């Protein structure tokens, strides 16, 4: 009997989370973004990754709340720790484009790989392009170093270069 009580106390909160998430999704689909926010926000604060991602999307677009892309990034970062592939993809784009974060191709590729490994179609198709771009940048960087070194006067030290 004690096991049954323990099981029920563990399952009831999950059921409530599921109901609230579904209601929030319905509100979003009906363009009632304020209600969606009000339902997703407590779920996100309780650690629900999908709700974290959705709050980020609301903040990014300013739907139902004042647009705040910095908060969107924060929520997507939190969702990323929950391994939410859509958050990984959105963050990857942000880092690739340098929108609300410093442009960082390596971080973008890392995030796209995480999303692609979970089957995110856009991440999977865009990843080879990013990897080629990174390879090109590395080759250009090595070429500059090589040209700078080969053109140095004999006797000059690397520190002087």
Please give the span between the terminal C-alpha atoms of the chain, in angstroms, as a whole number: 78
Which of 50, 111, 117, 108 is closest to 79 using CA atoms? Answer: 50
Q: Which residue, chain included where needed, has tokens 């909160």?
A: 13
* CA 87/CA 10 separation, integer angstroms: 28
Note the pTM of the prediction, 2 decimals: 0.74
Residue-by-residue pLDDT tens, the chain, 161 positions: 444 333 333 333 443 456 888 898 899 999 999 999 999 999 999 999 999 999 999 999 999 999 999 999 999 999 999 999 999 999 999 999 999 999 999 999 999 999 999 999 999 999 999 989 878 777 776 666 655 555 555 555 445 44
User: If you ran DSSP here, which 8-state letter would residue 100 be given?
Assistant: S
Structure tokens given for 93: 């784009």
């Amino acid at each position: 009997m004690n096991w049954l009580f323990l099981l029920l106390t563990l399952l009831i909160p999950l059921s409530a989370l599921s109901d609230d998430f579904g209601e929030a999704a319905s509100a979003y689909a009906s363009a009632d973004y304020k209600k969606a926010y009000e339902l997703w926000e407590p779920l996100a604060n309780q650690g629900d990754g999908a709700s974290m991602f959705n709050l980020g999307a609301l903040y990014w677009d300013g739907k139902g709340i004042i647009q705040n892309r910095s908060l969107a990034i924060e929520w997507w970062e939190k969702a990323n720790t929950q391994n939410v592939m859509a958050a990984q993809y959105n963050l990857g784009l942000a880092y690739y484009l340098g929108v609300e974060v410093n442009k960082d191709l390596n971080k973008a590729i890392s995030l796209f790989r995480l999303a692609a490994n979970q089957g995110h179609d856009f991440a999977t198709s865009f990843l080879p392009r990013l990897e080629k771009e990174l390879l090109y940048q590395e080759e250009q960087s090595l070429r500059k170093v090589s040209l700078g070194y080969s053109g140095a006067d004999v006797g000059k030290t690397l520190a002087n270069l």
